[in-house]
């Protein structure tokens, strides 16, 4: 039930939905006053949420800063959170999203000797296809990268960040893993993730990947030209902040 409600909430709080709803009302309503208000608000929100500079100013304090590789310790395990791909059954092919940076960074850290082993945690985040478990179809890529099977675990039953943490704890306890742990996930997702893993009894350092922000920029196109990717970024930010608050209320983080 919680999983289904979280998906519904993620849909409702999407800025694109608010904009489309306002513009649709403006098109179909016969009330001229309401039409004008909806048009103003619809286009106003579109300009606001598609502005990359404004988005960066809001997400910058939320994202956990990146860690310089040179400052890292040696870690027994790097924990990689899923949510980076989808499986195309017809093509028998995995399609990756920007979150794949999580996995690529982990592999690089493994190759450089900063982490000894990798735990990947991610099942199905989809309501309609719960059988498509990310950990299962990404296992082949660990083999492609040449990582020995005794150096990684693939957890494929979790559906959200809370379950990522609790099921990773099961693996750690079962395999009697100890030492330093490094949590590897997207910068905008790290705050909630750290809270969940700490609550599950896993104290880990953070290694933030695929950041939205870097140094503040004042280029003309960045400040004034609408960017559709900013809308996606806002959806992720609002989803994360809302999820963090709900997780705190439920005692998950």
Structure tokens at 108: 């690089």
Residue carrying structure tokens 């902040």? 241
Please state whether beta strands 93-96 and 85-88 pair in parallel, antiparallel, or not at all (unpaired). Answer: antiparallel
Residue pair 233/212 in contact by the 8 Å Cβ criterion: yes
DSSP 15-40: HHHHHHHHHHHHHH---HHHHHHHHH
Per-residue model confidence (pLDDT) at position 212: 92
Q: Which residues pair with 208 in a beta bridge?
A: 185
Residue pair 98/210 in contact by the 8 Å Cβ criterion: yes
Domains of the chain: 2-62+223-250 (no CATH), 69-209 (3.40.50.620)
Q: Supply the DSSP symbol for 65.
A: P
Per mean pLDDT, which range of 63-67, 83-87, 244-248 is the poorest? 83-87
- Name 197's Cβ contacts closer than 8 Å, sequence gap at least 6: 79, 164, 165, 168, 183, 203, 204
Say how far apart CA 116 and CA 209 lie, in whole Å.
19
How do residues 83-132 score in pLDDT, each as one tens digit? 999 888 888 888 899 999 999 999 999 999 999 999 999 987 565 566 67
Q: Is 185 exposed, middle or buried (0-12, 13-18, 19+ CB in 10 A)?
A: buried
Q: Does residue 139 or residue 118 have the better pLDDT? A: 118
* Torsion angle of the four alpha carbons 88, 193, 208, 59, in this order, in degrees rounded to the nearest 10: 90
Cα angle value 13/15/20 (rounded, 5°): 115
Per-residue model confidence (pLDDT) at position 128: 55
Per mean pLDDT, which range of 10-14, 43-47, 53-57 is the poorest? 10-14
Neighbours of 43 (CB within 10 A): 14
Q: Would the pTM of this model clear 0.85, i.e. be above it?
A: yes
What's the chain's length in residues? 253
């Amino acid at each position: 039930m919680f999983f289904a409600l979280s998906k519904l909430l993620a849909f409702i709080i999407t800025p694109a939905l608010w904009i489309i709803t306002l513009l649709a009302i403006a098109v179909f309503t016969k009330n001229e006053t309401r039409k004008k208000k909806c048009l103003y608000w619809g286009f106003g929100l579109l300009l606001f949420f598609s502005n990359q500079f404004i988005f960066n100013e809001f997400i910058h304090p939320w994202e956990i800063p990146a860690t310089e590789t040179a400052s890292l310790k040696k870690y027994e395990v790097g924990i990689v959170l899923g949510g980076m791909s989808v499986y195309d059954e017809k093509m028998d092919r995995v399609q990756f999203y920007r979150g794949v940076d999580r996995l690529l960074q982990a592999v690089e850290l493994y190759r450089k000797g900063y982490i000894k082993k990798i735990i990947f945690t991610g099942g199905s985040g989809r309501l309609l296809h719960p059988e498509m478990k990310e950990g299962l179809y990404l296992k082949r890529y660990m083999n492609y990268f040449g990582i020995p099977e005794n150096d990684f675990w693939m957890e494929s039953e979790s559906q959200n960040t809370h379950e990522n943490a609790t099921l990773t704890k099961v693996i750690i306890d079962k395999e009697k893993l100890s030492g330093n742990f490094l949590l590897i996930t997207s910068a905008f997702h790290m705050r909630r993730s750290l809270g969940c893993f700490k609550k599950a009894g896993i104290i880990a350092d953070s290694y933030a990947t695929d950041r939205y922000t870097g140094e503040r920029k004042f280029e003309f196109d960045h400040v004034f030209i609408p960017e559709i990717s900013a809308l996606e970024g806002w959806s992720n930010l609002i989803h994360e902040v809302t999820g963090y608050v709900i997780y705190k209320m439920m005692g998950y983080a």
